[in-house]
Structure 1
Amino acid sequence: MLPLLFLLLLAPLFLSSHPLYAAARPVPDGDHQTDTWRSFDRLLDAKRGSHVAGVADLKRYFARFGYLPESGANLTDSYDELFESAVTLYQTRFGLPVTGKLDSSTLAQIKSPRCGVSDSAVNRVNSEQKFAFFPGEPRWARPGPLVLTYAVSPTATVDYIPRADVAAAFRRAFARWAQVIPVRFVEVAEYEAADVKVGFYGGDHGDGEPFDGVLGVLAHAFSPESGRLHLDAAERWAVDFGREKSDAAVDLESVATHEIGHVLGLGHSPVRDAVMYPSLKPRQRKAELRVDDVEGVQALYGSNPGFQFSSILESDTSSSGRRRAGINIIFVLAMAAMGIVVCM
């Protein structure tokens, strides 16, 4: 009996990072979701040949993120052959069951909060790669050792997180990339003179990529050497989930790390655990670089002489170990609920 009690006490430590446990956490209700994306629920099980109100809106979504041409698409509510091909491509890229119809798993992915960079605005050198670059593989180039300055806007910000906490989150995010490539990032006070300019903006903010409200597009950044990194001010940003209780809270450091990848020239990755995967759930933290992220950025800038790939591999391995441990604990708890004692 004692071993079982011990496991019950440890269970929260293991389950906190397990996806089954995460699914039981509070999630945003419908009122939090961006209105247009929430309306996609009515399209469940729509398939080729059907005509459902809202398909035209989803076609615009697919055009925005690179699955349909921005011009020439038939933006009606008809589920036509071209739209079916777009759904199939979307399912393939996200590792979903390829059905060609709007099943529940596809709609859930479509409605997930995500980065605003188009999935087609990137290219892969060959089919074996997972990581991707912007077309032409743009990167920052400077004579001598590469040093990039960055600054957070003194005016385009949010008032509920101390400025020092925002700065600290970005400092950690930049440091992750600096660990793996020979690039040094320096925080500066002069915003207009910085190479990378960070700001929180709402709605249409003048760059041609308007934000759309809570839990839609979270942020976007532009390819080198633009240096623009914008976050949606409508989101409830968090630097500490212990303090921020909103079920719609978005981890600032995770999004910052992702968007810095775009600033450096990386596109979106289909690897779900990678930082450069395009979507992030509310209250999810995903700020640690994975092998795919590191291989991609090092293909652009080379490896930092002091970097050891084993540190990333160990991180991946330990994450897998925690997931397996979580599964074991769930099994033990289930058996205990049925009155069966399991010795481990």
Structure 2
Amino acid sequence: MNKQHLQNLIFTFTISIFLVALVSARLFPDVPSLIPPGIPPATAWDAFRNFTGCHHGENYNGLSNLKNYFHRFGYIPHAPPTNFSDNFDDDLAAAIKTYQKNFNINITGELDEKTLHQIVLPRCGVADIINGTTTMNPGTETETTSNGDSNSKPRFHTVSHFTVFPGQPRWPAGKQELTYSFYPGNELTKTVKSVFATAFARWSEVARLKFTETELYYNADIKIGFFSGDHGDGEPFDGILGTLAHAFSPTNGRFHLDAAEDWVVSGDVSKSALPTAVDLESVAVHEIGHLLGLGHSSVEEAIMFPTISSRSKKVVLTEDDVKGIQYIYGRNPSFNGSTTMSSPEKNSGNGGCRVASLWSPSILFPLLTFAFSHLMF
């Protein structure tokens, strides 16, 4: 290798890295060879499976992490002044019972296999119980009002099994058309953006709402972006699976997705070579529900149910979802009671796309190949 060739290699590789660095998140085809055969991927909450059969009143190493999980999603409302203990105490038992009620599991207060199987599923990062004033599984219509007392709890409604955020935040009544935009640093393709357009259309089909994409990210009502780890909103992402995305209630408009996930954009997600494949549209439809003011539902078939398994697809609004969004915004006059987009849709996803880090092997290998090709020829 002569000096000129070496200089060409360094220059080509540097330029390639620079071009990739301009994009904080890229989408690339599924690369099944990167997944070791027969080895299940480590996910955020796998260790919780070890607590199957743990008993009240005893100590178990790492149980404090499970308490942090329940605190994060609203089941233990108040954190201790220091750290959670590893003791299986009354607060944990009560949290488990409420969780089991919300997820339609036999209420025992014990960490049985079915409960822990539900706990470790990928899920939305929005809490199931917010400020102690909401519940996923109301079953009946309830209302709390201030009655002129500014110190009382905010007004909160639940009808059927859908829920809304405390105070029932919504986009202003006179603002039926909302704009949305994508974080410029992600440089998403038209194909990826079209997935979000379809997800928005599912809600506008049934309610008095319209959604329009704009290039003006910082002026948009809804701001969508893929981010990794701690990204500055107080809700850090945790890597593969775990929490997939989160969105804020009206009129905040922020919608963030975990860039570490294996996001499937099109095709049959159930056939993806990646066991960690997550259907992008399914997550988008769910998070848009939060952007519009809906909380979580205990109806497992509903879009607003908090969890979704990897390699599965759920994009069709159920009756519970429709009732919820129409309760807030009213019915789309053109809606005839059945969604035109709800033709039979199975779990799907041949291969997939994911948001990759800059140093992913799938990016570095093509760059090295490109550099050496210029060196050799």
TM-score, L = length of structure 2: 0.71
Secondary structure at 1:176 match in 2 = helix
The answer to whether the Cα contact below 8 Å between 1:147 and 1:183 also exists between their aligned partners in 2 is yes
Deviation at 1:32, TM superposition (A): 3.4
Residues 28/150 of structure 1: CA separation in 2 closer, same or farther (3 Å cut) = farther
Taking the TM superposition and a 5 Å limit, the aligned residue runs for 1:236-251 are 236-242=262-268, 244-251=272-279
CA distance in 2, matches of 1:180, 1:63: 34
Q: Which residue of 2 aligns with 1:5?
A: none
Q: Which residue of 1 aligns with 2:252?
A: 226
1:266 is the counterpart of 2:297: no
* AA of the residue aligned to 2:302: A
CA distance in 2, matches of 1:199, 1:28: 33
CA distance in 2, matches of 1:204, 1:102: 30
- The count of corresponding residues between Structure 1 and Structure 2 is 285
The answer to whether the Cα contact below 8 Å between 1:47 and 1:100 also exists between their aligned partners in 2 is no
Residues 28/115 of structure 1: CA separation in 2 closer, same or farther (3 Å cut) = farther
Secondary structure at 1:217 match in 2 = coil
Q: Deviations over 1:212-264 (max 9, x none)?
A: 11011000000000000000000010112448531211000000000000000
Q: Comparing both structures, which one devotes a greater share of its residues to helix?
A: 1
Q: Deviations over 1:266-291 (max 9, x none)?
A: 00000000000000110110011100
Deviation at 1:131, TM superposition (A): 0.1
Q: Which residue of 1 aligns with 2:43?
A: 33
Secondary structure at 2:246 match in 1 = strand
CA distance in 2, matches of 1:311, 1:190: 31
Q: Name the % identity.
A: 45
1:58 to 61, 66, 78: 66
CA distance in 2, matches of 1:71, 1:236: 32
Secondary structure at 1:71 match in 2 = coil
Runs of 4+ off more than 6 Å: none
Q: Which residue of 1 aligns with 2:4?
A: none
1:285 is the counterpart of 2:313: yes
Taking the TM superposition and a 5 Å limit, the aligned residue runs for 1:1-344 are 30-34=40-44, 37-72=45-80, 75-121=84-130, 122=134, 125-126=141-142, 129-141=160-172, 143=174, 146-156=176-186, 163-242=189-268, 244-311=272-339
* AA of the residue aligned to 1:44: T
The answer to whether the Cα contact below 8 Å between 1:49 and 1:78 also exists between their aligned partners in 2 is yes
Residues 28/71 of structure 1: CA separation in 2 closer, same or farther (3 Å cut) = farther
User: Which sections of structure 1, spanning at least 5 residues, go unmatched?
Assistant: 1-26, 323-344
* AA of the residue aligned to 1:87: I
Residues 60/237 of structure 1: CA separation in 2 closer, same or farther (3 Å cut) = same
CA distance in 1, matches of 2:47, 2:38: 15
User: Which sections of structure 2, spanning at least 5 residues, go unmatched?
Assistant: 1-36, 143-157, 347-377
CA distance in 1, matches of 2:209, 2:234: 29
CA distance in 2, matches of 1:190, 1:128: 37
Residues 128/297 of structure 1: CA separation in 2 closer, same or farther (3 Å cut) = closer
Residues 29/92 of structure 1: CA separation in 2 closer, same or farther (3 Å cut) = farther
CA RMSD of aligned residues (A): 2.4
CA distance in 1, matches of 2:223, 2:238: 21
The answer to whether the Cα contact below 8 Å between 1:176 and 1:289 also exists between their aligned partners in 2 is yes
The answer to whether the Cα contact below 8 Å between 1:28 and 1:247 also exists between their aligned partners in 2 is no
TM-score, L = length of structure 1: 0.78
Q: Between Structure 1 and Structure 2, whose CA radius of gyration is higher? A: 2
Residues 247/241 of structure 1: CA separation in 2 closer, same or farther (3 Å cut) = farther
The answer to whether the Cα contact below 8 Å between 1:42 and 1:54 also exists between their aligned partners in 2 is no
